[in-house]
Amino acid sequence: MSEPKALLSKLFDAIVAGEAHQARKLADRIVNQGLSANVTMNKMMEAMRVVDKKYERREYFTVDVAAASAAMREAFKILEPYLKVEPVKINGKIVIGSLKGNLQSLGKDIAAAAFRSAGFHVIDLGVNVSPENFVKSATSENAQVIAVSISINETVPYLKDIVNLLQQKKIRSNVKIIIGGQAASPTIGKKYGVDAYGKDHLDGVRKVRDLLSRQA
């Protein structure tokens, strides 16, 4: 195995094992060797999918998932400045947050970093964001996009409230909604009438770019 592949494999293992210090060290080595931050991010997300499967099979508990998330966050801190996303030619403002009931911020943070790298203006509302706060912020900031991170299935129905509030304010056609996260899917997007689903941070940027291109 080549050294770059070996480093990525070790980082994968460190995240699955929840070894935050080791993950940060490996991410630092990866950056110093000039390896692609985007490729590394994909490997890290692959590791988190393994962690999710272990949790579903009850091989892992909440504490193990938290440890893995912490390890990925430490590596992400190193990689974030090196993320490369194709710049957008259209100016746009995005309000992003983790939906009410969702306290996990890692996926949202990665998406926000990708949007910023692409040249979008990003307003990060944090976690546990109510539908009212999403819409209030989008209105006051004159944002074109609301990006919603969803990691818990039970909170998905709050999407309906975001759509309804935008309709009540008669700005639904002006504000696009994109969803992402472990509990999001194209099927859910269609069910609740959102405009796009991003399977990862790069796909999210592409989808937002396409949405705004149609509005231009």
Domain with residue 17: its CATH number is 1.10.1240.10
73 and 107 belong to one structural domain: no
- Assigned domain for 152 exists: yes
Residue 32: give the domain boundaries.
3-82
- Assigned domain for 88 exists: no
Cβ-contact 84, 116 below 8 angstroms: no
Which pLDDT belongs to residue 42? Answer: 87
Number of domains in the chain: 2
* CATH code: domain of residue 159: 3.40.50.280
126 and 210 belong to one structural domain: yes
67 and 150 belong to one structural domain: no
Which pLDDT belongs to residue 201? Answer: 87
- Assigned domain for 141 exists: yes
129 and 172 belong to one structural domain: yes
Which pLDDT belongs to residue 40? Answer: 93
Q: pTM for the complete prediction? A: 0.81
74 and 101 belong to one structural domain: no
- Assigned domain for 87 exists: no
Which pLDDT belongs to residue 2? Answer: 67
- Assigned domain for 208 exists: yes
Query: pLDDT tens per residue, the chain (216 residues)?
Result: 567 789 999 999 999 999 999 999 999 999 999 999 989 988 998 998 898 889 889 999 989 988 998 999 999 999 988 887 776 666 799 999 999 998 888 889 999 999 988 889 999 999 999 999 999 999 999 999 999 999 899 999 999 999 999 999 999 999 999 999 989 999 999 999 999 999 988 899 999 999 998 876
- Assigned domain for 43 exists: yes
109 and 70 belong to one structural domain: no
